[in-house]
Structure 1
Amino acid sequence: MEDKPLNLTEYGATAQPVVNGLALARVVATSHDHYLIMTETGQLAATLSGRLMNLATTATDWPTVGDWVQVRLPDNPADGAVIERLAARQTVFTRKVAGRRSSEQLVAANIDTLLLCMALDANFNLRRLERYLAVAAASGAKAVIVLTKADQTTTLPEQLTAVASVAGTTPVVVCDATQPAGLSELTALMRPRLTYAFLGSSGVGKSTLINRLAGSDALATQAVRAADAHGRHTTTARQLLRLPNGSLVIDTPGMRELGVIDADVDASFADIQALAQHCKFRDCTHHTEPGCAVQAAVASGELTAARLASYQSLKAEQAVNLALRGKARENAKIARMFGSKKQMKTMMQAARHRRR
């Protein structure tokens, strides 16, 4: 990453009001509650102000890689900057944290294009790709499907046909990092000052692609396991890099699990939505209702049972996670106002006692 002064328009900055005494900066790396920001004078370490920490109640209230922030610059650069304000996001990519918790995790913000990476080896999985497309559709960013490791497949035409069956209008590019011109399709679509986030499960080769695009080993990589083509979570902290062609890229940790909360499932299953327009009942769930056009399409072979099952599974998962997130936000609000539910009940009982 760069550490020399430069115009922040090179990092995608657009005109926006800045409070007197503060400076504009972009978050280029995060690790827990520590931040690295790019300012007009170069890179600085940064921490959150007490005010910002007190106002934050959910994960989305904290800065993440790609965010634009307003900071108080130090007199001595060694002291680090203080992040005072978080600018409104143009786009944001989130996921549910792994496991049973309903918490939401910020992945990256202000992304122009999400590059959804899937390897053409044993990692190839259409159901996972459908999940990524649903989350990408809700992010506000454009999406491009990036098929990696083309050197490790002998069935590329069949795989491209399978991807086309779920991609809809989303562009698809194929990459082979072992060949000199193996990234030509990818580099042709990347533009200066625009931000691209590489997303994909561990082992699909995101860091390898970025290193090739950067022309250096900017990111560490590890070999994947031969047994299942999964990686070892090489990338543990998100970071934003500026490529030689002026494009901005964000590498993200490999995701074994991508829980859906903010997802546009209907948009990524436009084929099922089109069929549903002909169902007998407007609220048809496409299970056992009579006159279901979607089930009829499955019976005729127009739609695969696996794709319908994926759609129904994602819709059900999203409904559960949205309900859990609502409860989590309510609990966070109670904790902020009263400390705990027990303390809230105690204060309410005291208030009722005073009114008697």
Structure 2
Amino acid sequence: MSEHTAQHPLVRYGWDEGFAADFSAHAAEGLTPGRIVRVDRGRCDLVVADGDSDDVRHVLADTALVTTGDPVAIMCTGDWAAVDLASGHVRALLPRRTAFVRSTSSSRSEGQILAANADCAIVAVSLAADLDLGRIERFLALAWESGAEPLVVLTKADLVTAEVLGHLVADTGAAAPGVQVLAVSAETGEGLDVLAAVLGGRASVLLGQSGAGKSTLANALVGAEVQDVQATRDRDGKGRHTTTTRNLLPLPLPAGGVLIDTPGLRGVGLWDAGAGVARTFSEIEALAGRCRFHDCAHAAEPGCAVLAAVETGELHQRRLDSYRKLVRENEWIASRTDVRLRAEIRRDWKAKQAAGRLAMEYKRGRSRQVLPRP
């Protein structure tokens, strides 16, 4: 990083030489770089350098000039923007390095961007409720696909014994190969120093269901009551949406960095996450490379290394079932947006239908042959 870039007030918010290079054309037009910390109803709140000082200030800007019909391309918290301070308009967005996108609904083929330019995607999971490994795997698939580095944080660790906590961390680690798993408690402070050290100097996005303890965790990391907190229900560990917008919060110096807190997510649909699914189930992908057939579906094919691993106990059946589910879901959403893939799936479906009809007719024919004549 050059001396000029290193001294820029926005370095604490993630500004670096790469973003400076992307912004150079906009600088020639007299625009100002800023990072979006919140978007709300056609306007956004940004942090920009405060004149020639070493500090930053917040400005409100209109987003109308960069409005797009593509829900994935609209500006969101974490974006870097070129701002015209004189007119109060955002003129352009800088290219994103990472983007966390989910499907808006299981019955629609639209994506929704939740956060941009995050180095780390924190999947917060509450230990106040039963551990749902399938949901963790779903979050991880989207996190890997975003380009950010996933991190699983088990919150409310003070609610379980040390022995149980050890088992829960181990189970989560088995469902998250290659991903760091941390257990923390905002109540006792357990694990917060380790988590703060991991996040220091980075841009992170905090994801999870309502009641996962995200707002409490954000307050603990920031060191101030910046997010409202409400109690979860005792009967199921679920909570209300205390965070209703996506907010970018600066983390304490000297480490610095920023944290994007997001509302609780009830539905986490995949969106073009094929690579993310493969990364989440890396051990299954490795086993698939040893299957006899390159297009093995791991269902009943002879020489399937994946099924053999299930039989020997090397691979858990739950893990394979979860993999199949996410692969099917991702193929479905891709078929809704990719005409070519949709046609291939339709042709495959018709071929299987035809084969099924032929098999049934053959079976019926053989049945008629063996039946004695009256």
TM bucket, shorter chain: 0.7 to 0.9
Separation in 2, partners of 1:9, 1:307: 41
Contact 1:115 1:198 in 2 (8 A): yes
1:203 aligns with 2:211: yes
| Equivalent runs, 1:335-350 vs 2, <5 Å | none
Kindly state the Cα deviation for residue 316 of structure 1 after the two structures are TM-superposed. Answer: 0.6
SS of the aligned residue for 1:60 comes to coil
2:196 aligns to what?
Answer: 187
1:141 aligns with 2:153: no
Kindly state the Cα deviation for residue 33 of structure 1 after the two structures are TM-superposed. Answer: 2.2
Separation in 2, partners of 1:32, 1:99: 25
SS of the aligned residue for 1:167 comes to coil
Which of 175, 192, 196 matches 2:184?
A: 175
Separation in 1, partners of 2:58, 2:310: 55
Kindly state the Cα deviation for residue 99 of structure 1 after the two structures are TM-superposed. Answer: 4.7
Q: 1:32 to 1:100 in 2, by over 3 A?
A: farther
Contact 1:237 1:253 in 2 (8 A): yes
1:63 aligns to what?
Answer: 75
Separation in 1, partners of 2:134, 2:216: 24
Which of 249, 261, 280 matches 2:271?
A: 261
2:237 aligns to what?
Answer: 229
RMSD: 1.6
Separation in 2, partners of 1:243, 1:146: 17
1:275 aligns to what?
Answer: 287
SS of the aligned residue for 2:140 comes to helix
SS of the aligned residue for 1:59 comes to coil
Higher relative contact order (CA 8 A, sep 6+): 1
Higher deviation after alignment, 266-275 or 99-108: 99-108
TM-score normalised per structure 1: 0.84
Question: How many residues are matched?
Answer: 313
Q: 1:318 to 1:32 in 2, by over 3 A?
A: farther
Which of 246, 250, 254 matches 1:242?
A: 250
Question: Kindly, what percent of the aligned residue pairs are identical?
Answer: 38
2:367 aligns to what?
Answer: none
SS of the aligned residue for 1:186 comes to helix
Summarize deviations over 1:232-273 as a string: whole Å, max 9, x none: 111110010102232200001111111001321111101111
SS of the aligned residue for 1:219 comes to coil
Kindly state the Cα deviation for residue 182 of structure 1 after the two structures are TM-superposed. Answer: 4.1
Kindly state the Cα deviation for residue 74 of structure 1 after the two structures are TM-superposed. Answer: 2.6
Contact 2:272 2:333 in 1 (8 A): no
Summarize deviations over 1:100-148 as a string: whole Å, max 9, x none: 2221111000101111111122152111111111111111111111111
Kindly state the Cα deviation for residue 181 of structure 1 after the two structures are TM-superposed. Answer: 4.3
Contact 1:123 1:230 in 2 (8 A): no
Separation in 2, partners of 1:44, 1:181: 37
Contact 2:173 2:180 in 1 (8 A): no
Separation in 2, partners of 1:32, 1:274: 46
Separation in 2, partners of 1:85, 1:97: 25
1:341 aligns to what?
Answer: none
SS of the aligned residue for 2:37 comes to strand
Select the structure of larger CA radius of gyration: 2
Q: 1:261 to 1:282 in 2, by over 3 A?
A: same
1:336 aligns to what?
Answer: none
1:113 aligns with 2:120: yes
Gaps of 5+ in 2: 1-7, 51-56, 340-374
Which of 203, 208, 215 matches 2:223?
A: 215
2:192 counterpart letter in structure 1 = L
1:89 aligns to what?
Answer: 96
